[in-house]
Structures are given as C-alpha cells and as structure tokens.
Structure 1
C-alpha cells in the first residue's frame, strides 16, 4: 500500500465514523470555527456623591463610610457647596483675615487665633535670597538632556495616572526630585478634582481664612482618595447672617437654596447614591442643602427622556458634631417643619454603616481640618475621643459596634 500523502493523512485524521439514522455511512465532522472572543466588560465602579455644606462636613459626618467605599473600589465625590467668601475674586478666594468682622472670624473657626501667619514677613516672596537658589531653569552638565528628561517625566505621569485611575486627580512625582507646582493634577474635566492652585495657597499663607479651609478640604480629599468639587458659593456669614441666633435660625426669604447649580453638578456625576445633610444642628447652610435633597425627590419624571428616580438614591446623614452634642437618635428630634418638603409617598428609614474597621482612618481624616479642631472640640485629642464615642453611641443603637447612621429614602 503506497504511503499516504500528507494531505490524505490530514483528512483521514479529521474523518470520524458516525452512526446516524439520518446520514447513513461515513461522514466528516469538522472542527467548529473558533467563536470570536467576547469583548470583555468591566462593570463601572459605583459612584457616591456627598454634599457638604462646608469644608469639613463630609469628613466629620461621613468619613467612616467614605473610607469603606474607597476600600471597596467605589468612586466618591465630595461636593463642597459654601466654600467661597463672596468677594468675587479667585473663585471665592481673596477675602483675607483683615477684611472679616469678629463674628465672621469666629464662625469660620478663626476667632481665637490665626492659623496662617498674616504678616508680610512670612510671605516667601518677601524673603531676600542670601544664598544661591536652584530655580530649576537649567540642567546640570552631568544630567540627561531635556528631551530625555521630558520623555521620562511623561512616562512617570502616565504611570501615576493609571495607578490613581479611580480618582479624578492623581499624585505626580518629579523625576528631578524637585517640588512641582500644583502637586495634584485634574483630568479632562476642569471643574472636578483636588487641585492646589497658586492663588489658593498664596492666599492661605497670607491669612485668608476661606482659602485655608479650602486647602484643608483638598488635603482631606487627597487622603481619602476622593474627588472634590467646590461650588464656591459664599458662606452664610458672608450673606448677611450675624450672630448665632441668625446662623442657627430660619433661612431668610431672600436666601434661597442653590437647587439648580447643585442639581446640575449631581446629575453630571451620575451617582448611584447622593448624601445630603439632615440639618440636625439647624445651621442655615445645612438647612438649604437638605432642602435641595428633599426637592430632588419631588422632581417629576420626564416623558421624553425619563430622569432618575431620586427616591431610593437620596440619603441624609446626621450632622456631626451637632448630633453628638444633642444626642440625636430619631427624626422626631429635628426642628419643626424640617421635613415639610418630603413628598407624601416617600419615607426615610435608618441605615447603619459599620465603620469599625475605618474608625481610626476617620479620626486621622478629621485631623486635617486644623482650623476647626479647637473651636469644635478643644483640640485634636478631644476630637478623636468625640468621634470614637459618637460611633459607639450610634453603633449601640443599631447593634453594629461602631457606626454612622444614614436615613435612606424609599418610595413603596
């Protein structure tokens, strides 16, 4: 028998004898064509938006939950609403300590001491250079040429951006071992991200209390790996509220809630859940932010392109340290009329977030707000004690150890 050709042998190997009533005799079973690989699908991370009336409110009230969400890989954005001074310069920056009334300084946390030196002598630009300073304008003869350095820096930036891809900003390191202006860079969205800009830092170092609080907020956002958006609306003390009776009273009729601007930012971020202050301390800025959350749930569904069903997405957090001072435990303890804007068919139910594993991280996060610690707690150690005791108190109510309590909305 002559040897088989390679083709005949190949065909014979692929031939399979099959007993089939419909196809008598031998038939050929050929290998099925490979199925094209299905494009991999990665589920996008869940997004959470925390509406903070002022710098420090998100860290104080929700720092434990924020840390837990980031540990799970979920995106967190802090919307700081009243972060401006109303001066109209620099996005709310520029109203230095010298232009504030005594009550404004006290209400902002600077009533007893100035955290940032206001003297011109502390302005670095006013210090004469009495020794040679490397301004970074040149490269030493032994160093690589500029083109290679720029290419290496670009690679380092790209690697850093991939590493921090879950945040809207990323840490950037200089390959020349020199500090970089900005330190934190935003992505394509110019209105989002924690960014140190020269005017904010300079104003803070010159004694601008609003800029100082904003820098603290940015530092916390970097620590918490959260993106941050500043709406830069003027704080209540810059809108004509004088004295605690007014600041903790009813909002003036001509001082409306920032519904449209806040709604626009929330819709742009497309959150799976958005958290508003409950307003237990009755601060006017907290009340106005709460009213935005209540109004969102009254928004009708549009027949052309249905909008989100906000009932089920909106939650309210208990305002710390007001909740700690008042021993808050139920909605009945809110001021009269606080929830009048809640739709009749929407209810609020408590949910306890177990933050036992993240409690110390929350304490470290609150410590970034140095300007507020003495006024609110009498120092950092007392702040840490208050945060731990409040978490234990709330956790005992929910039977979960250490917790933060949120009031979730739902429509039966």
Structure 2
C-alpha cells in the first residue's frame, strides 16, 4: 500500500550559504556520532585508511574557525583478530542507542564497537564469499550479500541496505532487531539479535539506495529512484514526502539510474561509483562484473551521463512551468536527518561527484535550497557523495575525495 501525500513543495533559497571546511583524512568510508552524557556532545568517528579515528570538533554552537577540525590517532580496538574484523571493508556506520554500540556494515556481516572499544561480529558471516545468499533469522545464521548502508532507529531496530538480484534496482531493505531488557532490569540490549527482510508494500520490489532515520518523524526516510523522498511507516506502508519518481522516465530507466547512483555488484567493490555496471541486468547480483565501471550499452540509464552530466533526461524545471514544485529533485544522491529533532531532512541533489545542490526538507514540508553548485570533488569525479548530519547544524560530506572530507556549518 502506498500513501501519496498531496504536497505542493515551495522552493526557497536561503540568503546565506553554509560555511565549508576541508579536513585532511584518507579514504573516509563511514561517519558515526557516538554521544556522551551531555546533550549534543560526543565523539565523531571516521572509518579511514588509518582505522577508526576520532574527528576533533569544537562543541556544538562554537565557531569552527576558532579551533581547526582535525583527525586524531586511531581508536585502539580490542578483539580485532579473533572477530575477523577488517577496517578496510567498512561501508557505513551508525550509533545504536539501545546497545551503545557503533554498528558497522561490512558487506557480508555487521560489526559493533562497544563503549570499551571491543569489536565483535554481531550478524552475518565475515568469511562468506561473493556467492553468499540472503538468509533471515537469528544473527548467527543470518547472511548478507552486500550490507552497505545502516540507519539505527533506536529501541533495538537498525535498518540495512543489502544487495539483492531479485530487486529491480539491486537493493533490498532489511532490519536487525535486538531484544531489549525490561526497564526494571535497567534497560539496554540483551545481545539477542535477529535479521529480517522488510517488505515495503507496493514498492517491495525496489529497495532504497539512500536513507536516514528521522528521530522527529520516528521513521525511515529514503529514496529509491532519485527524484522523490519517501517515508517508511509501520507494516511496510510507504508515504511520499516530496518529489515524484515517475513522470519523466519509465520504471526500468529510473530504477537503473538508482542502481547506477550508489552501488556496484559486489560488497567488496566501491559501493558508490557514479557509473555502475550490471551482471545479468540492472538489478545486479552478488558476483563481480567483468566490465567494472562501464555500463552495458543496452542498459537504460536516466539522469546520469558517462561524464557526470544529464543524458536520458533533462531538468524538468526547464521543460514545464511549475515543474519544480512537482519534481523538485533532479537526482537524489544522499540524505541525512537532523539528529537534534527538528525534522529537517538534508538532501544532496545532483548528477556528478564534482558539484551538487544542498537542499533541506523542513518538518513542515517546506523545501529550502541551502547551496547551489556546491563543490564537493575534483572536476569529472566519478565517485558519489555521502552525507552525515551532526548535532549543532553541522554536516559532513565525504566519499568523493580520497584525501579529505568537507564539514558544513549551517
């Protein structure tokens, strides 16, 4: 069942652009905020070539120019060898408030780092090959083909983007559940976990390519095809928040673009190449492709040019008067939710890894443009940007450059 919200999106441009800061950091693949006891304060952890390193920032509300942001020495992790953990295979990370773990998506498995910095495999098989199949059930028996995105929802629920050849865009939404302790026993997690597949009603054959958990809406906000934001509600019911996926392209073309936007065929490959390839169709699979980075000639592509420009479609705002209120997004690259509870959803909207547009969907449904032509990478970059939101109206854009990340102060 799909609930379509009647939304006339008003596009507004803010008067001031966000401040940007570049921080040297090698090959950042994941960002997670681990809170401390004080509200809004915590530790920003980066998965880099060094390992798991903290990013030192001034407290929320303080000017970033006063104390220059910088990375610090790696966190000394325990139980690395016994658990089979490899920091070079981290695709995403998210803090789970129930267990207090920093959860990490590592392709065929999910790992967690506890408060004492002990790392353990929580679900899946870290030694599985590329031919692994999807299996739901208790964590020890659960299997992932390419877990590359995470969003912890609290209360023991974490959403996972997995690879699936049966999906029309190659992605599948799954969930990791942890049984909580009763409040009279102190709360927290029991360590008992299980993985399930989330069936998304009418959109069940198309998985999200980017998502974020919004604490204000108490739900997952995601994009599947690049031109609309959706909200996942209880029982797999979905609700369209802004934009529209359908009008300018066939379903096959639009789904192909979403697959091209942020994944390769194997969990061990770069998950966010701007031009992806297929092995046996746009849905991809668990195996590697022979022509990495080169789309098949017969594959329909939408909104993505080989050189980072538009090809099969053009900006709808140039085609029809008023189109921007109906289709305000060109190609959603990444989303992040404000952790401070404002309900704001930040969106990177663009067709290349060189520059993009930063927009925000407010809690009241208003869509604002925060920055246009935001330079996020070198010209011609074929890597797709990632986005993380921190307390204090700060954003981190990463995944494009191999030698630094960008901090935005809004």
Classify the TM-score, shorter chain: under 0.3
TM-score w.r.t. the length of structure 2 is 0.25
More helix by share: 1
Question: Which of the pair has more CA radius of gyration?
Answer: 1
